[in-house]
Amino acid sequence: MSSWWLLPVSLPLAFIVGLAAQKGSICAVAGVEELLSRKRPDQLLAILACALWVAVVTVPLHWLSPGYRLASSLDTDWAMLAGGVAFGVGAAVNKGCAHSTLSRCASGNVAGAMTVLGMLAGLILLTLLPVMVRSVERLETPSPLTVPQPWSAALVAALALVGAVLVAGLVRRRAWRDAWARPRWNPYAATAVMGVAGGSLYALHGPWTYTALLPRALGQPVSPDSPPTWLPFVLTLAVMAGGMVSATLADRVRLRFSPKDGVRFFAGGMLMGAGGALAAGGNDVLVLHALPALAAHALPTYLAIMAGVALLRVPRRWRKKD
């Protein structure tokens, strides 16, 4: 189906992603930071739950109509893992991944736009190293979720039942009444909304975020399944609109610009841009598209991103203890 005909569904979904991204995070930086600083895995578990929510929505859609996409399995090599580490280091410098960057800009932090410029610069530098630039190829082995099996059907049904119980509890407690006025949500609630909305967009279009635009502009597609070039741009505007509305309702909009932050965001963006191109799109593509489909490259690449975040965060904690 043409992407134009899907816009009446896709634009509200992207808007919802922007709303929820102001209330929580699916970025590995938040998960690793909480694990190191508070010795709690809640945020990492919420990110895992996000991937499971995506599976609940996208896998049945694919079973009903193969036109709804599951992630392709890509070859996991040293370049992809190195890209994951580089993306993780860059995200730690930036203190956020793709959606976190949009949320920062939507709340008035103009310096956050330097992250996107840094991504473009990182991709340009990457083209100067031909040995690192490669085409993206499918593996012959498809996702184990491509064809419904008894175990996969039972898993999706169980997850859907748990999700229905949780949603019913929220409705019964009328938790939605002041939800938009609160600056943050429970991490599981925020990642669930982002998972269902963002994952549905991946099922409909493949890689749809602005991070997919940058490598494609230089002939480095993050996935064989790519939407028309105009679509990520339009959906990113909808995400920004959702973020601005959410930040306004929570009274979090503060127009500001820090040159020091701008330099840091640009440096982090360079690593995220180059690393994301090598690592098939980076954090958000993995959480919302590859991990839910059990794609072969998803887990090792995400672990590489976490290692990159820890690589920067652990020495800082040692210095604080000293």
Q: What are the pLDDT digits (tens) for 208-220? A: 888 777 666 666 5
- Give the residue with greater pLDDT, 18 vs 207: 18
- Report the pLDDT value the prediction gives residue 19, as an integer from 0 to 100: 92
- Report the pLDDT value the prediction gives residue 322, as an integer from 0 to 100: 40
Over residues 138-164, the pLDDT tens digits come to 555 678 888 888 998 998 888 888 778
Over residues 32-56, the pLDDT tens digits come to 999 988 888 989 999 998 998 899 8
Tell me: pLDDT of 129 over 80.
no
The mean pLDDT value for 125-135 works out to 68
Asked which of 62-66, 242-246, 291-295 is least confident by mean pLDDT, the reply is 62-66
The mean pLDDT value for 102-118 works out to 90
Taking the CA of residue 126 as centre, how many other CA atoms within 13 Å lie in the half-sphere pointing to its CB?
Answer: 30
- Report the pLDDT value the prediction gives residue 232, as an integer from 0 to 100: 86
- Report the pLDDT value the prediction gives residue 286, as an integer from 0 to 100: 92
Over residues 222-261, the pLDDT tens digits come to 555 677 878 888 999 999 999 999 998 888 888 888 899 9
Tell me: pLDDT of 68 over 50.
yes
- Report the pLDDT value the prediction gives residue 194, as an integer from 0 to 100: 93
Asked which of 26-35, 135-144, 310-319 is least confident by mean pLDDT, the reply is 135-144
- Report the pLDDT value the prediction gives residue 319, as an integer from 0 to 100: 46
- Report the pLDDT value the prediction gives residue 266, as an integer from 0 to 100: 96
- Give the residue with greater pLDDT, 180 vs 146: 146
Q: How confident is the model at residue 318 (pLDDT cuts 50, 70, 90)?
A: very low
- Give the residue with greater pLDDT, 114 vs 68: 114
Over residues 264-292, the pLDDT tens digits come to 999 999 999 999 888 878 899 899 988 99
> What is the model's pTM?
0.89
Number of domains in the chain: 1
Q: Over the chain, what is the mean pLDDT?
A: 84
The mean pLDDT value for 101-130 works out to 88
Q: How confident is the model at residue 299 (pLDDT cuts 50, 70, 90)?
A: very high
Provide the domain limits for residue 138.
3-321
Over residues 115-127, the pLDDT tens digits come to 999 998 998 888 7
